[in-house]
Structure 1
Amino acid sequence: MAGFLYVLAAAFMWGVIGVFTKFVLAEGVGVLEIAFWRAMFGWVFFLIHATVAGQLRAHRQDLPALLGFGVICVTLFYGAYQIAIRDVGMAMAAVLLYTAPAWVALLSKLVLKEEMTMTKAACVAMTILGVTCISLGPKLMSAAAIQLNLFGLAAGLISGFTYALYYIFGKKFLYRYPTPTIFVYALPFGALLLLPFINFTHKSPAVWLLLIGMALVTSYGAFSFYYAGLKRMDTTHASVVATFEPLVAAILAYALFGERFSLIGYAGSSLIIAAVLLVILSGSRPHKTMGSEA
């Protein structure tokens, strides 16, 4: 029960990323600057944790991989997700983020040499169809809005792809270190690579508090709770609980900002979430490969 509550707490924390982003964007701060400060303030919290717990050291030969993880989880993932929230809204961005399990199915075949099952292939097809349904909505709008939506759609898919790389990378390497150690090295390096693309703006004390709160809740808090939950429950069940994130984001987007999908958009969202659950739940059952089933 404790593990379930930890992972559920992490899902709720990730679900409020869009809320913080919307409020900070309204104050004139750019999306990449938001990603930068989310990473840097998150790094401060992980650095304090790692220092107190004596978890600062990493093997020299592992530093390239830890820094590479920074490129994935900050430069690409943080940046793309913030852009998606800005351009397509927090509800749609959260759904597109959860195309990650479909990407994992494909990357597991290519990188980890895992077998591609009929279930995984069906889930990839469901995800593609779901994203297509979501992207049809903007075609009812002006040409400028279509272009903006397509850019946001691409950013959302990139966030899902880089989120999938997080799991692939972790399966091959990051199990060696505790969570604070990983992020002490990854977060600042990934943030520094964003610097050439950022125009820093003047920020009021309220905006600084929002940025610090965002890092505390959605970076340090969410990852800490998630991995605490993984120590108390298996990965499959933890992943299922984590899919509450897009639900939380959609409810908050509707309640706070009046965001809503068209009917076909909701159908596409349902397909994506159904594909996510199938990919995750099928992991606990024995599979036949596509060739054997054929």
Structure 2
Amino acid sequence: MAGFLYVLAAAFMWGLIGVFTKYILAEGITALEIAFWRAALAWVMFLIHAAIKRQVKARPKDVPALLGFGFICVTLFYGSYQLAIRDAGMAMAAVLLYTAPAWVAVMSWWVLKETMTLTKTVCVAMTILGVACISLGPKLLSGGTIPLSTFGLAAGLVAGFTYALYYIFGKKFLHKYPTPTIFVYALPTGALLLLPFVDFHPKSAYAWTMLFSLAAVTSYGAFSAYYAGLKQLDATRASVIATFEPVVAAVFAYLLFGEQFSVPGYVGSCLVIAAVFLVVLAGDRPSRAAGEET
């Protein structure tokens, strides 16, 4: 149960990304600059944590993998998701992003040798269907069309795939390093590779406060909680629980900005919640293969 609560807390914090982002965008700061500062400021926090705990050092042979994690799961993930939103629209981009549980299930079976049970298969299907309802419901009811481009579709699938690699990388390296050590190397790599694409703008004290809060809550806090939970759950189960994130985001969007779901949106929320509880009822003990990794 502790593992479930850690991952659920991470999903809650990730669900606040949109809240912080909307306030920061209103300050005239671009999306890519927000992504850069989220990574850079969170890196400082993880570096301080790692220095206090004496967890900065990594074995030389593992450094390339840690840097590669930064490139794939910070630079490529942030970049591809922004491109998907631009070319395919926010609704389609969100659906493609949350193909991540399906990617995780396949890669967990292939890379981590986890068993692909019927429960996992059903939960993955429910989460994907639920997020599709949440994202596409309003457009479908209003009679609007869903924009689609080949490049936008490809970018969204890349976003889902790179997002899924958070789970796979975590299971492969958690037994080697504490969470701060991983992000001490990954975050600056991702931020530096984003740097050429960032246009910096003057910022008020309020904007800096929101940027710092975004990094502290949605990166430092969320990843710390998530990887603590991943030590006790297998990757597929953790990825399904983390899909509670869009439900959290929807609640805050309604409370703070007056955004509402259509009927399919509420149905999708119920599907996601049901999938989370189905995972819990199935038990949160790691599979034999996952247990051998940790």
What TM-score bracket applies, with the shorter chain setting the length? 0.7 to 0.9
Match of 2:37 in 1: 37
Measure, in 2, the Cα distance between the counterparts of 1:223 and 1:176: 17
* TM-score, normalised relative to structure 2: 0.76
Say if 1:104 and 1:167, in contact at 8 Å, map to a contact too: yes
Match of 1:138 in 2: 139
Say if 2:101 and 2:239, in contact at 8 Å, map to a contact too: no
- Name whichever of 13-22 and 110-119 sits farther off: 110-119
Say if 2:104 and 2:168, in contact at 8 Å, map to a contact too: yes
Measure, in 1, the Cα distance between the counterparts of 2:174 and 2:161: 18
- Name whichever of 100-109 and 182-191 sits farther off: 100-109
Say if 2:4 and 2:233, in contact at 8 Å, map to a contact too: no
2:110 matches 1:106: no
Match of 2:51 in 1: 51
2:221 matches 1:221: yes
Displacement of 1:278:
4.2
Measure, in 1, the Cα distance between the counterparts of 2:209 and 2:198: 20
* TM-score, normalised relative to structure 1: 0.76
Trace 1:242-281 onto structure 2 (pairs within 5 A): 242=242, 244-275=244-275, 277-278=277-278
Q: Secondary structure at the match of 1:56?
A: coil
- Structure 2: runs of 5+ lacking an equivalent: 288-294
Match of 1:181 in 2: 181
Match of 2:211 in 1: 211
Measure, in 2, the Cα distance between the counterparts of 1:19 and 1:153: 25
Displacement of 1:44:
0.7
In 2 relative to 1, CA 285–62 (structure 1 residues): closer, same or farther, beyond 3 Å? closer
Displacement of 1:198:
2.1
- Structure 1: runs of 5+ lacking an equivalent: 288-294
Q: Aligned-residue CA RMSD in angstroms?
A: 3.8
Trace 1:3-14 onto structure 2 (pairs within 5 A): 9-14=9-14
Displacement of 1:112:
3.1
Measure, in 2, the Cα distance between the counterparts of 1:58 and 1:73: 19
Displacement of 1:256:
0.7
Measure, in 2, the Cα distance between the counterparts of 1:154 and 1:131: 19
Say if 2:50 and 2:180, in contact at 8 Å, map to a contact too: yes
1:162-218 deviation line (CA, Å, top 9, x unaligned): 332111122223430111111000000011121232222222222122111211121
Measure, in 2, the Cα distance between the counterparts of 1:235 and 1:200: 40
AA of the residue aligned to 1:61: K
Match of 1:235 in 2: 233
Say if 1:74 and 1:187, in contact at 8 Å, map to a contact too: yes
1:92-114 deviation line (CA, Å, top 9, x unaligned): 95x87555333211222333344
Measure, in 2, the Cα distance between the counterparts of 1:168 and 1:263: 34
Match of 1:116 in 2: 116
AA of the residue aligned to 1:14: W
Match of 1:88 in 2: 90
Q: Secondary structure at the match of 1:170?
A: helix
Q: Give the total of aligned pairs.
A: 280
Match of 1:291 in 2: none
Measure, in 2, the Cα distance between the counterparts of 1:21 and 1:253: 12
Measure, in 2, the Cα distance between the counterparts of 1:180 and 1:198: 26
In 2 relative to 1, CA 80–261 (structure 1 residues): closer, same or farther, beyond 3 Å? farther
AA of the residue aligned to 2:102: A
Q: Identity across aligned pairs (percent)?
A: 69
- Name whichever of 49-58 and 156-165 sits farther off: 156-165
Measure, in 2, the Cα distance between the counterparts of 1:160 and 1:268: 19
Measure, in 2, the Cα distance between the counterparts of 1:14 and 1:278: 21
Match of 1:25 in 2: 25
Displacement of 1:222:
2.2
